A and B are shown apart, each in its own frame.
Chain A
Amino acid sequence: MSRTIRHRAKRRPAGLLIAAALLLTTVGCGQAAGSPAAAGPPSTPDVVEPLSPPPVPQLPATTASADGRQVTVASAERIVPLNGSLAELVFSLGLGPRVVARDVSTTFQQAAALPVITQAHEVSAEGVLSLHPTVVLADRSTGPAEAVEQIRAAGVPLLVLDDAKQLADIGPRIDTVAAALGVPAAGAQLKARTDERLQQARGDLGPAAGRPKVAFLYLRGSASVFLLGGAASGAGSLIEAAGGEDAGTAAGLTGDFTPLTSEALVKAAPDAILVMSKGLESVGGVDGLLKLPGVAQTPAGLDRRIVSVADGKLLSYGPRTPEVLRSIAAQLYAGTGEGAR
């Protein structure tokens, strides 16, 4: 109740803030894009680069939702993307000013002032509806199903997309979202831009001298177990694009994350370890990570070959993925003289 009131009161200044932030970041990004990503932990600002000028939606438009329905969007005035990946996509299309809420996984600066409506993937239907959205975007993994149904039952069009799991998903996702919001041309433009940057990032890799084995570790706090990413973690595609081999998949893990014994990690012998930056922070940085039993004994630990990417960016598979790939490659090959450049 009080939440709704607070959000209403905030909305207008928030919109202004975003507009200002957009102006600032377009300038800032232009510079950052040209310079090569620095090795080591990413220091680039967490921002999205929107298309300019912002497109004007041509609605209504009807799109096939991934859950088999046809969803007709009549207005894109108030958009609610239910996760960070979708928010990144909408903002990149230049429709950021029309977004009225974000979830916890949406971490980039332009969206920072928006009210948060979900916690850890748990959507509250009432929270979403209280913002009077004209269209809601969700992934298949967004839940609970009851909330999705309730939002639809309230007459709000809700488009479901397949979960983003690999580089190849980026294009179709841009197309679907752009079509649903009535900006197909902007979608094509964004897709082309993203493709081009992805090619560039791959091209910069150069001929790889061997495939480093990369273990994707999901960490938070040091008093717990390792969760090693497997085939379904979503990081495999990035690791391969960066010229590496996913250690979890190589070890035969088919699920997303598996609690692993320290010795099994040593046995898997990864050449590098990929982590999310908050997770790395939570174990006390690279030094803390190397103190965890089993890490120091891997080739990655012996060489201190640790790759860290911001939590919100790593698995979002969207317009910013080329940047992520570039950062991974830079960290992966830093100091080895192979790969990058």
Chain B
Amino acid sequence: MTATTAVEPGTAAPSAAPPRRSRAALLTTGLAVALVLSALLAAGVGAYRIPTGDILASAGHRLGLGGHPLGRVPESVLWNVRLPRVVLALLVGASLGCAGALMQGMFGNPLAEPGVIGVSSGGAVGAVGCIVLGLDSLGSWTVTVFAFATGLLTVFAVYAMSRSGGRTEVVTLVLTGVAVNAFCGALIGVFLFTADSAAINQVTFWQLGSLSQATWGKVLGVLPFALVGLVVAPLHARKLDLLALGERPARHLGVDVERMRLVLITVVALLTAAAVAVSGIIGFVGLVVPHLLRMAAGPGHRFLLPGSALGGALVLVAGDLAARTLAQPAELPLGVLTALIGSPFFFWLLRRTRTKQGGWA
């Protein structure tokens, strides 16, 4: 720290902005506050109108702080329909954001996202197969469980296939991912070919991504994976920083790169597969949230990993609120919405960064 701040006056970097560390702390706090506010807003707004006073009364009653329960239907809508959805958006968003930051750090490439290693398309094969074949052996959990299992399976297949002599090369890994993604796309095509129109409809909507089927059960299903990922990821923050130097220098600094990669790929797979299983494919968050934060407060992973989790959660809670309220009573597909609003915003930022700093890096 002493060295970083021991900048000789006059020759210092031209930017007058506060040092990265305090900016990161500020941003983290800001994100956390924004997340809490948007979650409260999301809990208060919906197609089924429940007055704010009633919500407070019901919450107070449940927390034992006075208040009173609502009628059977509004009480159930609030606690069994709306809240699980807000919480699920939070978990899925945090998972996707964190997984995206991990992937970019692990691959040393700002273009990497969990989809690269096949987790999304693998999950899609399971979900689409389930929908089309009408499998229901696990009741309402069938699609979720299948999507999760095939997502994980695909990632490990990609990893195993790109490993040789105890090492994995990033380029081989990416190319294997490309091939496996294409294969998964073809499998989905085969399923669609044999599907009837009801199934095709559902598959389409599943692929657009949505949290409309959120239940406490699904929240509990995702929670362990999200927790494991969100706890394990920051433990590797420092090592991920070192990986930015390249694999060989990172090894020279004591990082067991291969082992870390296996651990982190597992974490990414768990986070993303769980998210995809309950929400379908929601792109954009994992790719762009880490970017924005890196632009704002630097590439250090000790900030970036938790920051991306917070940022992803914020984007998804806000996005899902929009998805279920903008076109009432219809539901907008969440994945489409995030990309539709997020992409132009990202493009604008990209342009601005280029004109201001003369380059992306």
Q: Are any A and B Cβ atoms less than 8 Å apart in their complex?
A: yes
**Hey, which bits of chain A sit against chain B, CB under 8 A?**
104-105, 119-121, 218-227, 251, 253, 257-268, 276, 278-279, 281-285, 287-288, 291-294, 296-297, 302, 311
B136 near A223 with CB under 8 A, answer: no
Interface positions of B (Cβ within 8 A of A): 46-49, 72-73, 76-77, 80-82, 84-85, 127, 130-131, 134, 136, 139-144, 147, 193-203, 205-206, 210, 212-215, 217, 277-278, 280, 324, 328-333
Residue of A nearest to B139 (CB): A284
> Once the chains are docked, how many angstroms separate the CA of A231 from the CA of B57?
39
Q: Contact at A283–B136, with CB atoms within 8 Å?
A: yes
Give me 13 A-to-B residue pairs in the complex whose CB atoms sit less than 8 angstroms apart, sorted by A's number.
A219-B202, A220-B198, A222-B139, A223-B206, A223-B213, A258-B329, A266-B47, A266-B81, A267-B329, A278-B198, A279-B198, A291-B217, A311-B198
- Let me know if A224 and B198 touch, CB within 8 A: no
State the total of A-B contacts with C-beta under 8 angstroms. 165
Question: Measured between alpha carbons, how far is A291 from B214 in the docked complex, in Å?
Answer: 10
Q: Which of A253, A278, A296 contacts B134 (CB 8 A)?
A: A278
CB distance from A138 to the nearest CB of B (A): 16
Listed residue (A222, A268, A297) with the most chain B CB atoms within 10 angstroms of its CB = A222
Cα A86 to Cα B139 with chains together (Å) = 34
> B201 contacts A257, CB within 8 Å?
yes
B212 touches A293 (CB 8 A): yes
In the complex, chain A residues whose CB is within 8 Å of the CB of B205: 224-225, 227, 259
Task: Assess whether A227 is in contact with B212, with CB atoms less than 8 Å apart.
Answer: no
**Are B329 and A282 in contact, CB atoms less than 8 angstroms apart?**
no
Q: Which interface residue of A261, A265, A311 has the most chain B CB atoms within 10 A? A: A261
Verify B47–A261 contact, CB threshold 8 A: yes
| Chief secondary structure at chain A's binding surface | mixed
Please give the distance in Å from A143's CB to the nearest CB on chain B.
12
Complex-state Cα separation, A267 to B72, whole angstroms: 13
How many angstroms from the CA of A218 to the CA of B84 in the assembled complex? 23
CA A309 to CA B212, docked complex, whole Å? 25
Given A119-B193, A262-B81, A284-B142, 11 more contacts at CB 8 Å? A104-B196, A220-B199, A221-B131, A222-B139, A225-B205, A257-B201, A258-B330, A259-B332, A259-B333, A264-B48, A284-B139
In the complex formed, the residue of B with least CB distance to A227 is B201
B206 engages A251 (CB within 8 Å)? no
| Bound-complex Cα distance A259 to B323 (A) | 11
Whether A224 contacts B202 in the complex (CB less than 8 A), given A296-B76, A297-B73, comes out as yes
Question: Smallest distance from the beta carbon of B63 to chain A beta carbons, Å?
Answer: 22
In the bound complex, CA of A225 to CA of B202 (Å): 7
For residue B201, which residues in chain A have a CB less than 8 angstroms away from its CB? Answer: 218, 220, 227, 257
The reply to whether B329 and A264 contact each other, CB–CB distance below 8 Å, is: yes
CA distance A218 to B329 in the complex (A): 16
A276 CA to B214 CA, complexed, in Å: 23
Asked if A225 contacts B212 (CB within 8 A), the reply is yes
Main secondary structure of the interface of B (DSSP, over half): helix
A251 touches B200 (CB 8 A): no
Chain A residues with CB under 8 A of B212: 224-226, 259, 261-262, 293
Contacts of B77 in A (CB 8 A): 263, 266, 297
A295 to B205, CA, bound (A): 19
For residue A4, give the distance in angstroms from its CB to the closest CB of chain B. Answer: 19
A276 touches B198 (CB 8 A): yes
* Distance A253 CA – B331 CA, assembled complex (angstroms): 13
Q: A223-B144, A258-B330 are in contact. Are A263 and B206 (CB under 8 A)?
A: no
Enumerate chain A residues within 8 angstroms of B48, measured Cβ to Cβ: 263-264, 266-267
Do the beta carbons of A223 and B127 come within 8 Å of each other? yes
By the criterion CB–CB under 8 Å, are B210 and A224 in contact? Answer: yes
A259-B205, A266-B81, A297-B80 given as contacts; is B213 within 8 A of A218 (CB)?
no
Q: Report the Cα distance A340→B319, complex, angstroms.
A: 47
Q: B46 — which chain A residues lie within 8 A by C-beta?
A: 261, 263
Closest to A290 in B: B140
Contact A120 B324 (CB under 8 A): no
Enumerate chain A residues within 8 angstroms of B203, measured Cβ to Cβ: 224
Give the chain A neighbours of B47 by CB distance below 8 A. 261, 263-264, 266-267
Using Cβ atoms and an 8 Å threshold, which residues of chain B touch A121? Answer: 197
Known contacts A223-B206, A260-B331, A263-B324: does B198 contact A294 (CB below 8 Å)? Answer: no
Q: In the assembled complex, which residues on chain A have CB atoms less than 8 Å from the CB atom of B49? A: 267
CA distance A221 to B177 in the complex (A): 28
* B328 with A261: CB separation less than 8 A: yes
- Once the chains are docked, how many angstroms separate the CA of A221 from the CA of B215? 15
- Contact present for A288 and B140 (CB under 8 Å): yes
CB distance B197 to A120 under 8 Å? yes
Contacting pair A259 B213 (CB below 8 A): no
Picked from B81, B143, B330, the residue with its CB within 8 Å of the CB of A259 is B330
Interface centre among B131, B206, B329 (most CB of A within 10 A): B329
Cα–Cα, bound, A70→B199 (Å): 36
Contact B136 A284 (CB under 8 A): yes
With a CB–CB cut-off of 8 A, which chain A residues contact B214?
293
Q: Contact check: which of A223, A227, A257, A311 meets B143 at CB < 8 Å?
A: A223
A282 and B85 form a contact (CB under 8 A): no
Residues in chain B near residue A221, CB distance under 8 A:
127, 130-131, 134, 142-143, 199, 202, 206
Could you tell me if B73 and A266 are in contact, using CB atoms closer than 8 angstroms?
A: yes
**In the complex, residue of chain B having the shortest beta-carbon distance to the beta carbon of A105:** B196
Judging by beta carbons under 8 Å apart, are A296 and B198 in contact? Answer: no
Instruction: Give the 8 A-B residue pairs with the shortest CB-CB distance, closest first.
Output: A264-B329, A223-B143, A284-B139, A221-B131, A263-B47, A220-B202, A264-B47, A263-B48
Q: How far is the CA of A282 from the CA of B128 in the complex (A)?
A: 12
Contact of A293 among B127, B198, B215 (CB under 8 A): B215
CB distance from B164 to the nearest CB of A (A): 36
- Between B48, B194, B328, the greatest number of chain A beta carbons within 10 A of the residue's beta carbon is seen for B48
**Chain B residue nearest in CB terms to A279:** B198
- Report chain B residues within 8 Å CB of A266: 47-48, 73, 77, 81
Min CB distance A260 to B, Å, is 6
